Amino acid sequence: MKNLQKLKKELKKIDFSNKLVLAPLTTTGNMPFRRICKHFGADITVGEMAMAKALIKGQSREWPLIRRHHTEDIFGIQICGGHHNLMGKCVELIDNLELDIDFIDLNVGCPIDYVCRKGCGSSLLDRPKRLKDIVMAMNACTDIPITVKARMGVYTGKPTLHEIIPELAQCGATALTIHGRYRTQRYRSEADWEYIKQCTINSPIPVIANGDIYNYKQVELLQESDITSLMIGRGALIKPWIFTEIKEKRDWDISSSERFEILKQYTNMGLEHWGSDSNGVENTRNFLLEWLSFTCRYVPVGILERFPTKINDRAPSKIYGRDDLEILLSKDNPFDWIKITERLLGPVRDTARFSAFKPKHEANAWTSNNEPMKEEIIINESST
């Protein structure tokens, strides 16, 4: 290991200061969506989580996850694996291929059972020595900066991440993103920003804060602590213009026609990315449906009685938008999402594939009993 480190070139450097980072988003964080977020002001983008073992095996569906678009001026990839030899080989392969990437992020945050049972994702927080060995092995095999994205700990109420931050830095991590939840919480309850701020104290590496960012007022957290940057995930899925709102310090009362134009741009980018043949059209439709399962949660600023809202707030009743399109965009029924895709891609041909569509992503969860966990949004009826 020491010999490998001696042979390494000078480590590249990434300035994470005061940046808005688009989080790595499984299924939904594809290239077309990242391009949309770049258009609205994302400074750094990260590709979807890719499994290291699948990359080494050369699986065709995994390698496209780490492709970069030329508009992504600072781009990182995220890989997931649970053993230092596997991760070292994967990083070495990526390094030898001289891929156009700026940093490699280690996934220590994925909470789903399928990943954690393999000893990957947030389960690594329960094995700190293995985690440190993985970071060290990855760092030894490339001059590309290695970053880590992790949760607070595995079990609710028992944070452990703060204990190993200095050691992660010693092993070669150049930055740390903290998602302010435990593995057992998945995406339920509010992110713990106080814990994230505590982790920044005397941290030897930059700390990027992640969890529940949904309005521009949250950038004040950067000024109140040593948090380096903000990483935005679900907030960008619900309203990708959040990057513009933060940079311009305003709540954007975006119209339904402007929102539909964003979907149209995504569709065109999807056809460019996945192809315009019948298979490409249906792939584009499928990923658009996945995204619409998030966009339907957006409540327009113009019909709110009070704001800003939080990401987990829910409308107390059916939303009556200011026009028919705004009403349609707020529907949370997959059949209505299919209607939207048909306006953009034409009639569904593979009815068997889409008739029982159900979003894959579990980040739409409210609470364990599917009840809103925060107070409800108040809608200004006079403006509808």
Residues serving a catalytic function are 110
SS (H, E, C) the chain: CHHHHHHCCCCCCCCCCCCEEECCCCCCCCHHHHHHHHHCCCCEEEEEEEEHHHHHHCCCCCHHHHCCCCCCCCEEEEEECCCHHHHHHHHHHHHHCCCCCCEEEEEECCCCHHHHCCCCHHHHHHCHHHHHHHHHHHHHCCCCCEEEEEEEECCCCCCCHHHHHHHHHHCCEEEEEEEEEEHHHCCCCCCCHHHHHHHHCCCCCCEEEECCCCCHHHHHHHHHCCCCEEEECHHHHHCCCHHHHHHHCCCCCCCHHHHHHHHHHHHHHHHHHHCCCHHHHHHHHHHHHHHHHHHCCCCCHHHECCCCCCCCCCCCCCCCCCCHHHHHHCCCCHHHHHHHHHHHHCCCCCHHHHCCCCCCCHHHCCCCCCCCCCCCCCECHHHC
